[in-house]
Amino acid sequence: MWQFFHKLGSPKWFFGIAARLMPWLLAGGILLLMAGIVWGLAYAPKDYLQGNSYRIIFIHVPTAFLAQSVYVMMAVAAVVTLVWRMKLADVFVKSVAPVGLVLTFLSLFTGAVWGKPTWGTWWVWDARLTSMLILLFLYGGVIALDRAINDEKSAARAVSVLVLVGVVNIPIIQYSVEWWNTLHQPSTFKLTEKPSMPAEMWVPLLLSVLGLYLLFGWLACLRMQTEILLREQRTRWVKDYVLAGRG
Amino acid sequence: MNADCRPALTLRQDTVGALAAMQTVFARDMKVAFRQRQDLLNPLLFFVMVVTLFPLGVSPEVSFLREAGAGILWVAALLSVLLSLDHLFRHDFDDGTLEQLVLQPQPLFLLVLAKTAAHWVLTGLPLVVLTPVLGVMVHLDGNSIGVLCLTLLIGTPVLSLIGSIGAALTLGLRSAGVLLSLLIIPLYIPVLIFGTGTVASAAEGAPAGAYLALMGAFLVLALTLAPFASAAALRISLFNG
């Protein structure tokens, strides 16, 4: 266990593991996402109330799910950075923040597209939407702070503090639809209860969520590899790796 | 800046307890501020001017102002606290006092708390005192003004406390002012929502107790957690962690 923990701190070791994992993550991600989306868009039954327009759920829910979940992962990595000063955790936060920003934007955008036919408006200032917008700002702040500090180590630690302060927003987003009775419908998935939709609807949804997770894992590995190569560019193994790649 | 405006900070090792050290830091910040009176006035003038923009820029109608007045005052207060945050650590950072503060044997988060308290007394509290006058100018009724003052009284310390984290994180950076706003405004939004929500529900005749209790919870949360975060951020900004 501890040996694994120490190995995880080594960028070189992670680089190798990531290279081996990535094809699987990519293949699995594409497969699941395709299955989920094709099943959801073409074969799942119509919603009795919203008709075909509900089908955007197969894109909206995965992006929104990931947008929050990526922030939680970043917060865990931030704790690791602050407590154990592990290099990889900080590489993770830095590489993943822009991905989270894009995912949050996508979930807001698809939500707006979904809101137009169902609520009759692109945007309402409801609690769920507003707290997602705050999440978008938080991602923006994390990226801006990271870019503003030149020193790599202080940037990592300052960003970690900011990520942890922003984490108060996550439970607010999660429970906003239950605390305040607003336009946004309640969560589709809950850990403790059976989904309120038939299996033909939630199975493809679950598939696309899992698919997007895998795809995110692939993208995270790819971006972390790039960041590791940049940071370790003066080390022997990176030089060897790059030269071998050319030759 | 004139050097003799800024008395040196003297906290003798070991002999000074944490509370006495907090008092010293607080008293020194007050003294420094009162030797630079213009810096004290600027956020207040800004507050008044921002509030003035709304009747002139949107509509001077009594019905609009009565509806939007509490929100306008809250946004203006939020912006002027934001504007004053840059001063919280900046001058102490420039002349090295901050490093001395971090090296003190007393816990840093208590000293940061004392500095934040001084910041609130110098900016937040005057805003609350000024609010009734501006409230009358935007045609709020007496009850609303009372509730508004109460929400600002609970809310502005939260703004100062959260702001101290941002000020500590952006210390010594290029374009720190804009960056500070980017980092801090998302965290201010919940306070703003509940602050104006309290006034709106009070204006409809509903009891404001529940909202005020929630704002009190914000204050307790910020009071207990924010000083630790800003102390950590100060250490990072000064000594790379």
Q: What is the pLDDT of residues B53-106, one digit of tens each?
A: 999 998 889 898 988 899 999 999 999 999 999 889 988 998 888 998 888 888
Q: What angle do CA A98, A99, A104 make, to 5 degrees?
A: 95
pLDDT for B121 equals 95
Q: Which residues pair with A51 in a beta bridge?
A: A47
pLDDT tens-digit readout, A145-187:
999 988 888 899 999 999 999 998 888 777 776 666 666 777 7
- List of chain A residues whose C-beta atoms are within 8 Å of the C-beta of residue B169: 145, 158, 161-162
- End-to-end alpha carbon distance in chain B: 29
| Residue A188 banded pLDDT, cuts 50, 70, 90 | low
Q: What is the structure's pLDDT at A178? A: 67
Contacts for A48 with CB less than 8 Å, ≥ 6 apart:
none
Residue B214 belongs to some domain of the structure: yes
Q: Which residue has the higher pLDDT, A177 or A91?
A: A91
pLDDT of residue B116: 96
> B interface toward A at CB cutoff 8 Å?
162, 165, 169-170, 173-175, 179, 182-183, 185-187, 189-190, 193, 229, 232-233, 236-237, 240-241
Using an 8 Å CB-CB cutoff, list chain B residues near A144: 179, 182-183
Total structural domains in chain B? 1
- A90 vs B contacts (CB less than 8 Å): none
Segments forming the whole domain that contains residue B119: 35-239
Q: Is residue B4 part of a domain?
A: no
How far is A113 from A135, CA to CA, in rounded Å?
19
Q: How far apart are the first and last CA of chain A?
A: 38
The CA distance from B111 to B104, in Å, is 9
Per-residue pLDDT tens for B202-234?
Answer: 888 888 888 899 899 999 999 999 999 999 999
DSSP-based three-state secondary structure for A149:
coil
Nearest Cα to Cα of residue B161 among B127, B117, B192: B117
Say what percent of chain B tops pLDDT 70.
94
Q: At a CB cut-off of 8 Å and minimum separation 6, what does B168 contact?
A: B89, B112, B229, B230, B231, B233, B234, B237
Q: Does B183 sit within 8 Å of A144, measured CB to CB?
A: yes
- Residue B2 in any domain: the answer is no
Higher pLDDT, B241 or A176: A176
pLDDT at B107 over 80: yes
Nearest Cα of chain B lies from the Cα of A159 at a distance, in angstroms, of 9
Predicted-complex ipTM score:
0.84
Give the mean pLDDT of A124-130.
83
Single pTM value for the model: 0.87
User: At A51, phi and psi to the nearest 5?
Assistant: 65, -140
- pLDDT top residue among A199 and A105: A105
pLDDT band at A244 (very low <50, low <70, confident <90, very high): confident
Q: How many CB pairs under 8 A join A and B?
A: 59
Cβ of A158 and B186 within 8 Å? no
Are B169 and A82 an interchain contact pair (Cβ–Cβ within 8 Å)?
no
Distance (Å, whole) CA A245 – CA B172: 41
Share of chain B above pLDDT 90, in %: 56
> Does a structural domain hold residue B5?
no
DSSP H or E segment with residue B64: helix B62-84
Banded pLDDT at B1 (limits 50, 70, 90): very low
Q: Token pair for residue A73? A: 């992962």
Please give, rounded to a whole number of angstroms, the shortest distance from the CA of B58 to a CA of chain A: 21
Q: Between chains, do B240 and A157 touch, taking CB under 8 Å as contact? A: yes
Is residue B28 in a domain? no
Q: Is residue B182 part of a domain?
A: yes
Q: Is A134 on the interface with B (CB under 8 A)?
A: yes
> What pLDDT sits at residue B56?
92
**B72 HSE (CA, 13 A, CB side):** 28
Residues facing residue A47 across a β-bridge: A51
Predicted local confidence at residue A159, as pLDDT: 94
Tell me whether residues B240 and A151 touch, CB distance under 8 A.
Answer: yes
B11 in a domain, yes or no? no
Kindly list the residues from chain A whose CB atom is less than 8 angstroms away from the CB atom of residue B175. Answer: 148
Q: Which domains does chain A have, with CATH numbers?
A: 16-246 (1.20.120)
Residue B98 lies in a domain: yes
| pLDDT of the residue at A57 | 86
Interatomic CA distance for residues B33 and A143, integer angstroms: 34
In the numeric block, the tokens 């094709």 are attached to A38
Per-residue model confidence (pLDDT) at position B11:
65
Question: How high does pLDDT run on average in chain B?
Answer: 89
